[in-house]
């Protein structure tokens, strides 16, 4: 395995070990996601509206809020005890950190979704007779990929700034608008079985994800300077 | 005789906003040198060390490592800060193994050797979070040495160390003379008594004093 990816993998494994040893943050994010599911499901029972129309928006609002909590953790844990400096020295190439943190964030996000998405599906009682499950899973995966990539990049930019916790979601949201729009429309298309109508949005998700996965290779050297 | 590494700092400047932190700092060091840097708070000592580590970009001047511009990946840098720079939720051994694997100097023997050196072998399975601050600092020393460094930067390394810990650190200074350039920031130069070292005094971002102390 090339040295670059070996280091990415080592940091990724270290982060997973660290995260699962103290599951308080993961659990609190999961509890938050579950609460969102209940709040949305109760609220939607009060109105007469087609679940296939409302489910995608509710799903991505839930994922977005969980992502804000989950993604901030990846670099914050390096700030404790000043470990970020030691990690930068050991990794040599700053973009190694991006890819390790991106993979970690994506893993955490997908783990949270494994619980929250089925819960939301059940509680909102989605009529999924015509649903294309693979297209749905593809949309969720690509949306999560983009969230993790942009979130990791912005987290790297803001982590050393004062007020990072406030800045992060403020900067994150406008950059994510095309991704969220595409993810919502693809999810909706998957639910009603009309995937041809939204295939263009699926391509946009792929391009968006590739862009924000490759861009940090050029940018990350400057991101963590300071 | 082993080839000596050469660190040349020439007219080094660092500006943060409107404030000039470092003003034309110049010095040289070769393998074997222990350079003790003193100065009041805000003199620019930590900024200097962070630039030498490659963690902070300089605003002007040159920092040359064996004639080439210094960068984060120029070689093996051991950095000991007043913060332990460790992972609290990993054990003592896991911390060292992780950094060893990152540096490619992984080896159970090396981990044991360093933990014995800093007196933490018996604590190898303890979480870093339960260690005292002084023990964390000892582990930080072992972590920095895991890199098998050619340049070791110490920022207030005696922080929180007890008498035994201070003696261990003095041993580290001596043991790494033949293979490293060592730069140490301190407010307590008395801890270096009995060691041969060069002295650089900083104030207001300038070098105001140079000296040499022979053991």
pLDDT in tens, B85-96: 999 999 999 999
Confidence of residue B71 (pLDDT cuts 50, 70, 90): low
Task: Give chain B positions within 8 Å (CB) of A14.
Answer: 87, 90, 98
Taking alpha carbons only, the member of A105, B29, B63, A4 closest to residue B55 is: B63
Report long-range pairs for A141-144 (Cβ below 8 Å, ≥24 apart).
Answer: A141/A110, A142/A183, A142/A186, A142/A202, A142/A205, A142/A206, A142/A209, A143/A60, A143/A63, A143/A179, A143/A180, A143/A182, A143/A183, A143/A186, A143/A187, A143/A205, A144/A63, A144/A67, A144/A106, A144/A109, A144/A110, A144/A113
Cross-chain residue pair B83–A91, CB shorter than 8 Å: no
Backbone φ and ψ of A66, nearest 5°: -65, -40
- Please tell me which of the candidates B72, B79, B101 has its beta carbon nearest to residue A86: B79
Task: Give chain B positions within 8 Å (CB) of A22.
Answer: 89
Mean pLDDT, residues A203-216 taken together: 95
Range with top average pLDDT, A87-91, B91-95, B109-113: B91-95
Cross-chain residue pair A89–B83, CB shorter than 8 Å: no
Q: What's residue B72's pLDDT?
A: 54
Cross-chain residue pair A225–B101, CB shorter than 8 Å: no
Task: Give chain A positions within 8 Å (CB) of B79.
Answer: 85-86, 89
- Taking only Cα atoms into account, the Rg of chain A, rounded to an integer number of angstroms, comes to 18
Calculate how close chain A gets to B104, using CA atoms only, in Å: 9
Residue A209: pLDDT above 70? yes
Query: What is this model's ipTM?
Result: 0.88
Cross-chain residue pair B85–A14, CB shorter than 8 Å: no
Cross-chain residue pair B87–A83, CB shorter than 8 Å: yes
A20-72 pLDDT tens trace: 988 888 999 999 999 999 998 888 887 777 777 889 999 999 999 999 998 88
How far apart are the C-alpha atoms of B44 and B14, rounded to whole Å?
Answer: 9
Confidence of residue A201 (pLDDT cuts 50, 70, 90): very high
A-to-B residue pairs, Cβ atoms closer than 8 angstroms: 68
Q: What is the 3-state secondary structure (H, E, C) of chain B?
A: CCCCCEEEEEEEEEEECCEEEEEEEEEEEECCCEEEEECCCCCCHHHHHHHHHCCCCCCEEEEEECCEECCCCCCCEEEECCCCCCCCCCEHHHHHHHHHHHHCCCCHHHHHHHHHHCCCHHHCCCEHHHCCHHHHHHHHHHHHHCCCCCEEEEECCCCCCCHHHHHHHHHHHHHCCCCCEEEEECCCHHHHCCCCEEEEEEECCEEEEEEEECC
Task: Give chain A positions within 8 Å (CB) of B148.
Answer: none
Q: What is the pTM of this model?
A: 0.90
């Amino acid at each position: 395995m090339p040295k670059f990816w070996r280091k990415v993998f080592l940091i990724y494994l270290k982060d997973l070990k660290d995260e699962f040893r103290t599951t308080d943050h993961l659990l609190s994010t999961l509890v938050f996601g579950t609460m969102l599911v209940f709040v949305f499901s109760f609220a939607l029972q009060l109105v007469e509206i087609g679940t296939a129309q409302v489910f995608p928006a509710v799903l991505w609002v839930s994922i977005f809020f969980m992502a804000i909590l989950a993604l901030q953790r990846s670099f914050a844990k390096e700030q404790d005890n000043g470990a970020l400096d030691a990690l930068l020295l050991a990794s040599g190439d700053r973009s190694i950190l991006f890819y390790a943190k991106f993979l970690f964030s994506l893993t955490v996000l997908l783990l949270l979704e494994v619980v929250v998405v089925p819960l939301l599906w059940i509680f909102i009682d989605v009529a999924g007779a015509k649903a294309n499950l693979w297209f749905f899973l593809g949309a969720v995966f690509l949306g999560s990929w983009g969230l993790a990539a942009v979130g990791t990049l912005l987290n790297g930019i803001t982590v050393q700034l004062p007020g990072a916790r406030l800045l992060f979601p403020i900067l994150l949201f406008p950059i994510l608008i095309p991704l969220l729009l595409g993810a919502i429309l693809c999810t909706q298309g998957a639910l009603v079985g009309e995937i041809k109508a939204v295939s263009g949005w699926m391509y946009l998700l792929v391009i968006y994800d590739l862009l924000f996965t490759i861009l940090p290779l050029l940018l990350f050297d400057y991101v963590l300077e300071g | 005789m082993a080839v000596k590494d050469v660190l040349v700092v020439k007219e080094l400047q660092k500006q943060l906003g409107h404030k000039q932190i470092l003003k034309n700092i110049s010095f040289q060091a070769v393998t074997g040198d222990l350079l003790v840097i003193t100065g009041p708070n805000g003199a620019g000592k930590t900024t200097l060390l962070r630039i030498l580590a490659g963690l902070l970009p300089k605003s002007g001047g040159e920092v040359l490592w064996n004639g080439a511009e210094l960068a984060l990946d120029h070689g093996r840098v051991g950095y000991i800060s007043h913060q332990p720079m460790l992972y609290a939720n990993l054990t003592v051994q896991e911390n060292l193994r992780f950094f060893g694997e990152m540096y490619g100097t992984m080896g159970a023997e090396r981990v044991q050797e360093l933990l014995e050196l800093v007196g933490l072998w018996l604590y190898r399975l303890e979480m870093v979070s339960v260690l005292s601050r002084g023990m964390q600092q000892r582990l930080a020393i072992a972590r920095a040495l895991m890199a098998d460094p050619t340049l070791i930067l110490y920022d207030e390394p005696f922080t929180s160390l007890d008498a035994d810990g201070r003696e261990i650190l003095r041993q580290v200074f001596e043991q790494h003379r033949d293979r490293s350039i060592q730069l140490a920031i301190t407010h307590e130069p008395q801890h270096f008594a009995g060691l041969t070292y060069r002295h650089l005094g900083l104030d207001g971002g300038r070098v105001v004093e140079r000296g040499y102390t022979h053991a």
